[in-house]
A = this chain, B = another copy of it.
Amino acid sequence: MLRLRSGDPDFARAFARLVKERRESDDNVARDVQTIVEDVRLRGDEALAEYTARFDGHAPADDDWRISPEACREAFDALKPDLRAALELAAERIREYHKAQLPGDRDYTDATGMRLGARWRPVDGAGLYVPGGRAAYPSSLLMNAIPAKVAGVERLVVVTPTPKGEANPLVLAAAHLAGADEVWRVGGAQAVAALAYGTKRIRPVDVITGPGNAWVAEAKRQLFGVVGIDMVAGPSEILVIADAKNDPQWIAADLLSQAEHDPVAQSILITDDAAFADQVADMVGVEIAMLPTAKVAKASWDAHGVIIVVDSLDEAPALANALAAEHVEIATDDPQALFDRIRHAGSVFLGRMTPEAVGDYVAGPNHVLPTGRRARFSSGLSVLDFMKRTSFIAATDAALAAVGPAAVALAEAEGLAAHARSIELRLGI
């Protein structure tokens, strides 16, 4: 864990180093992924079978690649009642929040008589990657699938690795609840390639979202343009801005809720009280000892945890904007005052009673958020990621007469004679 004080002479340099630090490795991943993607593009299901055997230790029969809707419903029906109710509450709140994101169409006629507008439509098919193993989260399935369904996507395809053939029943239950149309037993870069290019068995989709390891993230990055993707995802992070009036144990738990995700996750505390900083650091030690996820959480906190002691929390917004963190908690009496000055953040959690974890599951806003300072230019997942806009123009004789000559002048200035001609012929000039 790194400790910084904003008053120290070396602070600016140390903070700049923190901002620049990249926790993403990409050494041989890009090349490996390129090979796999090209192989799946050329050989389709045959390549999928080989990679699935190699990476997942699993060779499904020809009719066993797809997990049936019945299997998903059975997994849902088998949930314990409290877990089932929790998933249903989460789904309901996510759906409500995302419904309000549906964009409105435009269709109007301007003063020249020209009709102008824009029309939103969902993509035909969306593919959703769901990791196996440590990061197989049903909440993540809901957060990706529900916005797609709210957008109106007709074909929602889930791909998920099933190591040794074992599917995660919680993921299948969530797939049922979210209304996934197809679930396939494939994972890794090969699954992303199959979704983008299609195979005999799996028809291609138009947009691919969902979290994954470095190979999955790199495959999405490489296939961006062949399909739409949500974002380039990196390791998760949280920035907690807290004064000394907080319970240090609560803040320690918040920092660890990020750290337990991944050894390269990052948790940063900004506080204006050095003694409080010490208390939180101590409580992190106490809390880690209690966690079944202690090994991951400790690795993350030791290598990437940061405590910054500032002279005044007034300094916090500028630091937060430079960090442009995925999650920002503001645990003060008047969090809005600081929030008003924060321009770059994926999602902000206001006040002492809003731990980040509430946003991971049941608050409603999406938990798929920009990482690695990408909140400077990108947003959390929304229904817009599953829709696209078509603009339209309808000119009348009068409208074309009003604006056409200006278009002709510009086309001629740009040396585009046929552009000019297409208007001149209609105007008889």
Contacts and interface: CB of A to CB of B under 8 A. Distances in A.
A18 interface: no
A413 B357 CA distance: 14
A16 B411 CA distance: 34
A415 B292 contact: yes
Contacts of A375: 388, 390
Interface string A14-47: 0000000000000000000000000000000000
A393 B257 contact: no
A247 interface: yes
A348 B256 CA distance: 51
Given A361-B411, A362-B406, A394 B354 contact: yes
Interface string A84-122: 011101100100110010000010001000111010010
A343 interface: yes
A228 to B, nearest CB: 4
A354 B257 contact: no
Copies of this polypeptide in the complex:
2
A405 B383 CA distance: 27
A359 interface: yes
B350 A393 contact: yes
Interface residues of A toward B: which range?
Answer: 35 or more
Nearest to A354: B395
A247 B425 contact: yes
Given A90-B406, A118-B365, A250 B426 contact: yes
Contacts of A422: 250, 253-254, 256-257, 355-357
A249 interface: yes
Contacts of A353: 395-397, 399-400, 426
B354 A406 contact: no
Contacts of A404: 358, 362
Contacts of A303: none
Given A253-B418, A403-B93, A418-B287, A343 B124 contact: yes
Interface in A289-305: 290-293, 297
A116 B365 contact: yes
Interface string A338-367: 010011111111111111111111111110
Given A358-B400, A362-B403, A397-B353, A377 B227 contact: yes
Contact of A89 (B225, B395, B403, B416): B403
A323 interface: no
17 contacts: A114-B363, A121-B343, A137-B414, A225-B232, A253-B422, A256-B422, A257-B418, A291-B421, A347-B393, A357-B407, A357-B411, A357-B419, A359-B393, A363-B395, A379-B389, A380-B391, A384-B384
Interface of A: 82-83, 85-87, 89-90, 93, 96-97, 100, 106, 110, 114-116, 118, 121, 123-124, 137-139, 170, 206-207, 221, 224-225, 227-228, 231-232, 247, 249-250, 253-254, 256-257, 259-261, 287, 290-293, 297, 335, 339, 342-366, 369-370, 374-380, 382, 384, 388-397, 399-400, 403-407, 409-411, 413-423, 425-426
